[in-house]
Structure 1
Amino acid sequence: MSFKKDLHLLIKPYYLVNTIISLSYIVAKRVPAVCNYLFLQNECELNGRETEILFFLMIVIMIRTRKAGSVTMINYLSASFIYAKIANLILWFYADVRMGIIFGIIFILCGLVLPEPTYQGPENVIYLRGATGLQEELQRDNRVTWLIAFYTVWNPACVNFAPIFSQISAEYGLENLKFGKVDIGRYPDAGAKYNISDSSMSRQLPSLILFKEGREIQRRPHADHRGKLIKFLFSSDNIKAAFDLNNIYKECKNTPLKRRDKKPLKEE
């Protein structure tokens, strides 16, 4: 996603309102007119405890956004909003219980009224029902190459990865090059079959597996010869390079599927 598209998204109510809420305490404490009215203080400065909370928030956001695989400004904002709002809730309660309650009500209302915008662009993705649904598709026609994403709806890295996978599927999807997704949170049998952990501490979410002729060819992230998982950054360019999608696309396009002739019925 380009920087211009990120800026365009920032004017959407979800990002605009959440940015204001995330910065509310700092702005209230640093703007004299607001500070004097709310806190009845002549000197509007952050004290030691408030600075510690904000510094801790910064560390948490940096760690969590890296684990979530955030690669754009919008990804970083989306991953950091919840932590920033919780820190603001603590700060408002620390300053005044009444203001903390008011902020908490606003926090909850924003979550109910302004859900995070989802990807609305083109995609060519088939959503599969567990290991059985995937196996049926792989066996239906072994001439079809599949790139399958294993994910959970609650994992931030999977949420950030969703629009990237959708864009790639729209760009490369063919009759014999298909893209699928399996929610292993809903269908844990698929995670068990392909050795993908769906725990909250899992470093395997999301996972991409390339299937050719019904067999697994490669996956990301993958383990080295010692069994240690090698971290993989799920950007569009990295995925295209890791799975050699340009050459696979060219090969599939040059050898389109031909309809198999039906056997003639025997005459009675």
Structure 2
Amino acid sequence: MSLKKDLMLLRKPYYLVNILLSLTYVISKRIPMVCHMLGQAECELDSRETEILFFLMIVIMIRTRKAGSVTMINYLSSSFVYTKVTNLILWFYADIRMVCGLLLPEPTYQGPEKVIYLRGATSLQEEFQRDIKVTWLVAFYTAWNPACVTFAPIFSQLSVEFALDNFKFGKVDVGRHPDAAAKYHICDASTSKQLPTLILFKEGKEVDRRPYADNKGKLVKFLFSIDNVKAAFDLNNVYQNCRTDLAKKKDKKQLKQE
């Protein structure tokens, strides 16, 4: 089922164009007809181009593994960040018209969700004060981080499955609201390993987060898959407890009305 969804997503222009650009540079340098159209005297990769492409392969392999890319779409989304930069350099010298394809934005998640978008730490505190009994699962993210983009549909799916009146899902863009990053000790730098960060709040207080730092202050790596998030935050039990509390609240309200 996941493979079928990935194949459907591959039909979008963003993926088609970037896959094409990732492959065509090498192919075009080896096909005489295309090579001559680009004004190249010799139809082969020179030593500098070979070094750049080889280095790109190493970077993609290392970075995507660190990001926890486990599906085809996740892997491609993470690798496009690096292939875009490399292709931008290579195609700029070969044919500047090909650079335009690199500007296509990555498609965003269009499915259902029950997520509340919060405007910084102040907005989140206001929600806590509005009803202290509400449990919150909040994702702190940035729009430019590949891992955050990959996690977005997962978080939306979780919100649809578990959201209740007293169990809410929120998101805070720490790129736009750095005050939230400062308050909850989240590094929002381009090299940060804390993006995304997922925090569970009960009665307005943090009770758990991923990723977290161990006793030595070292960040413990976390793979943001649906199953891992469910297990790490015990979402099934949190959901059942919140549902039970909600039912008790309704029963008490009915007794008062009677």
SS in 1 for 2:213: coil
Give distance in 2, aligned partners of 1:174 and 1:252.
8
Q: Which amino acid aligns with 1:229?
A: L
TM-score, length-scaled by structure 2: 0.88
Helix, strand or coil: the match of 1:147?
A: strand
Partner of 1:12: 12
Q: How does 1:85-104 map to 2 (within 5 A)?
A: 85-92=84-91, 97=93, 99-104=94-99
Label 1:86 to 1:188 Cα distance change in 2 as closer, same or farther (>3 A): closer
Partner secondary structure for residue 219 of structure 1: strand
Quote the residue 2:34 is aligned against: 34
Q: Distance in 1 between matches of 2:185 and 2:40?
A: 58
C-alpha distance in structure 1 between counterparts of 2:207 and 2:91, whole Å:
53
Name the residue aligned to 1:49: 48
State the shift of 1:157 in Å: 1.4
Identify which range, 240-249 or 131-140, moves more after superposition.
Answer: 131-140
- Quick one: distance in 2 between partners of 1:53 and 1:122? 41
User: Against the structure 1 CA distance between its residues 154 and 90, is the aligned structure 2 distance closer, same or farther, given a 3 Å change threshold?
Assistant: closer
Instruction: Decide whether aligned partners of structure 1 residues 40 and 227 sit closer, same or farther in structure 2, where only a CA change above 3 A counts.
Output: closer
Long gaps (5+) in structure 1: 262-268
CA distance in 2, matches of 1:89, 1:152: 24
CA contact (8 A) 2:137 2:168 kept: yes
Runs of 4+ in 1 over 6 A off after TM superposition: none
| Letter matched to residue 218 of structure 2 | K
Decide which structure has the larger Cα Rg and report it: 1
Offset, 1:45: 3.8
- Counterpart residue identity of residue 233, structure 1: L
User: How many correspondences in the alignment?
Assistant: 251
Q: Which residue of 2 aligns with 1:187?
A: 177
Report the equivalent of 1:84: 83
Contact 2:78 2:147 in 1 (8 A): no
State whether structure 2 residue 209 is matched by structure 1 residue 209: no
The partner residue of 1:198 within 178, 183, 188 is 188
1:224 has 2:219 as partner: no
Residue in 2 aligned with 1:128? 118
Contact in 1 for aligned 2:52/2:86 (Cα 8 Å): yes
Do 1:191 and 1:197's aligned partners in 2 also have CA atoms closer than 8 Å?
A: yes
Residue of structure 2 in register with 1:64 after alignment = 63
Work out whether residues 186 and 194 of structure 2, in 8 Å CA contact, stay in contact via their aligned partners in 1. Answer: yes
Query: AA paired with 2:145?
Result: N
| Letter paired with 2:108 | T
Whether contact under 8 Å (2:134, 2:168) holds in the other structure is yes
The 2-side partners of 1:16 and 1:245 are apart by 36
Q: Say if 2:38 and 2:95, in contact at 8 Å, map to a contact too.
A: no
Q: 1:185 to 1:87 in 2, by over 3 A?
A: closer
Between the aligned partners of 1:252 and 1:15, the Cα distance in structure 2 is 40
SS at match of 1:256: helix
Deviation at 1:44, TM superposition (A): 4.3
- Residues 174 and 253 of structure 1 are in contact (CA less than 8 Å); yes or no, is this contact kept in structure 2? yes
State the partner residue of 1:172.
Answer: 162
**What's the offset of the Cα at 1:58?**
0.6
Deviation at 1:32, TM superposition (A): 4.4
Separation in 2 of the partners of 1:82 and 1:217? 34
Distance 1:154 1:89 in 2: 18
